[in-house]
Amino acid sequence: MEEVDEKRCIKILPPKLVLQKKEPALQWLIGSPFLSPLTIVSTLRCIHHLSPQESVSPDFTKEAEDLRTLLLKGFYIIGALVVGNFNVEEHARKAIDLARRLNQLLSHGEKSEKQLLIGAVADFNSTDIHFFVSDSGNGTSLDSVSSVMYENNPEKYIWERGCLLRCELPISVPLYIPLDRPSDVEKTYTHAIESVVSKLSDPQVVYAVESLYKNSTEDPCPVILRGSQMDFQINLSKIRHLNEGSQNADGMSFPCEHFCLKSKTESTTFCSQNADIVQVSVLLNSSGKSQKSNAPVVEYLPAMDKARLLVVDLKVEVLCYAAKYLPLTYAVSMLVIPGVVDQLNSMKNAIFPNLLKQLPQLVPYHFCPPGFLHPITATYELTYGETEMKQVELRKALHLRLGLPFDRPVLRIASALDFSSRKDNLPRKGSFLLKDVHIGIPSSGVSGGQMSIVQGSYEYHHYLQEGFNDSGWGCAYRSLQTIISWFRLQHYTSIDVPSHREIQEALVEIGDKDDSFIGSREWIGAIELSFVLDKLLGVSCKIINVRSGAELPEKCRELAAHFENQGTPIMIGGGVLAYTLLGVDYNEASGDCGFLILDPHYTGSDDIKKIVSGGWCGWKKAVDGKGKNFFLHDKFYNLLLPQRPNMV
């Protein structure tokens, strides 16, 4: 009866199932063996086709190669969705057949138990999605499904039941390449990687399992697992929940939840970023117990021919999704080890073309893009940085596959999940600074105005912070730091906010200033700020010149358009003073305009009440009701408008 119910109800977790309805497309449906068989966790668009004109003719080899890297172990293909004007039942069968064939490649051709597969067809001309289910794998038996349920709290559904496993493994692979047979390099490297892979399942290997983040002295002690305890034959879908009473001291029956937080409350936020994470470390037990006493032995194996030593350094970092009830031995043997093997093989394929030239710098990163309920993994080649054209094209392909917009950098390194900051609980540079101090301040006083303000978060940088005395000369530096913090917090860059000295060094490096400028107390203005933003971030800027403070209200329409379209903070410089502009409130009919000013000249403590009540962040008018001028009429002003990069 339970199997019949599963066949008759599909559970949909992602907020958006059809990624693009304007053109024919094929999407892979993702599920997990730890959730009910017809639960759709996410969807990925097929981007490799044998024929550009055929949306349902996937290049299975390329698709499988991409998905082995992208998809965490613990998730797998449970079906396919076809978008277009098609015969519904015919293309549902085809979708199921395509999903079956891709699954065979992803499992390296190994036979798996009979699996329920979903075939879905979305029509161009309506919002209807037709679902079918087959348990034969080839679509010969096809059941229409009318019962579809959308989960109200999908994040809680996934992360209340599951956790993440993380394994980080730096590997140095020494290769001896005969000088007279350089073509042997690929064979030698393949043999070396196979040797590493075999050691992962060696009976002498040791896996140390522990909680990634230590919260108290009551955290459970690490569990040691040995290679001899691994079980590579078990079917994950058949694992049943273990009772606490069945746990024993050797760790064989300890479930993953042994290392998960127990103090979850009703207010707990369930998401990838807050998921319980179990750390798995690989240790080679080369000094195991011996039956008899032996002296250490050094083995000398001389090269028979003249050879070149080549060392390939790899950084493997794997994430897996596991049910909390899953025993640790099965989690390591069926998820972590296969994940490490797939990542090593993926890196091997990327390294081969340049093995005797410049070795690529391959680094895996994990992301949880908007709309995704679980992390995905991407391996970047960073020899020439993340702005190199090949990396841009890789990210564009990922955006297409994931259904992400092409004008937001959600897959840049700065957006990657950061496990180190949670592990050591140490604040990152700038993390102690006040953010978004304009929120909740009194209104501008502009009657009938249209408010346009900064989009996103920023840090408030001002005089005397971090024990550095820049009072009287550093206001433009502080405004620049606030602007760069905005780009950091919106994940356009991963660089730290530069110090005054680093800003000066950047200007000297590009030839704008002499060496004597470094360490000086010289002012900088809009031009220098634009040079630094271009140098450090690759950000272009627009500069508006205003002859006097009285003319600033005339620029309100242009400034409002900037905040609506770009959303970045603006630097206003006049004479020896500089301010950060966070928004405008503009009444087009009356011409009345208010300016939301963040003042970097503040020298007090970071007390939000003191800052707001003292007027260091608030609305200003070019001329207030008492005739007092905030912007001086006899001063020439420059406005620096940083442009939001349109990049992936």
| C-beta neighbour count of 358 within 10 angstroms | 9
How many other CB atoms are found less than 10 A from the CB of residue 266? 4
Q: How many Cα atoms are found within 13 Å in the side-chain-facing hemisphere of 519?
A: 2
> Quick check: 400 and 367 in contact, CB under 8 A?
no
| Whether the Cβ atoms of residue 541 and residue 645 lie closer than 8 Å to each other | no
108's tokens:
């390296």
Of 645, 524, 511, the residue nearest 577 (C-alpha): 524
The rounded distance, in Å, linking the Cα atoms of 148 and 247 is 38
What's phi and psi for 79, nearest 5 deg? Answer: 160, -170
Specify the amino acid at residue 475: C
Question: DSSP assignment, residue 162?
Answer: E
Active site residue 562: no
Which of 46, 256, 368, 475 does the annotation list as catalytic? 475
Q: Where is 571: in which H helix or E strand?
A: strand 570-574
Task: Give the SS3 label for residue 170.
Answer: strand
Q: How many CA atoms lie within 13 A of 455 on its CB side?
A: 14
Instruction: Give the tokens for residue 306.
Output: 């003249």
Q: What angle do CA 320, 326, 331 make, to 5 degrees?
A: 45
The H or E element containing residue 316 is strand 307-323
- The answer to whether 313 is a known catalytic residue is no
* Strand duo 205-211 + 277-284: pairing: antiparallel
Question: Smallest Cα–Cα separation from 138: which of 105, 88, 104, 87?
Answer: 104
Q: Are 275 and 159 in contact (CB under 8 A)?
A: yes
Q: Is 342 marked active-site? A: no
Pair of tokens at residue 352: 């081969």
Which strand (E) or helix (H) includes residue 225? Answer: strand 223-226
Single out the catalytic residue among 48, 49, 491, 601. Answer: 601
Give the dihedral of Cα atoms 598, 602, 607, 611; nearest 10 deg: -50
A 10 A CB-CB count for 234 gives: 14
CB–CB of 425/562 below 8 Å? no
What residues form DSSP beta bridges with 12?
Answer: 40, 150
- The residue annotated as part of the active site, out of 97, 342, 470, 599, is 599
Catalytic residues: 475, 599, 601
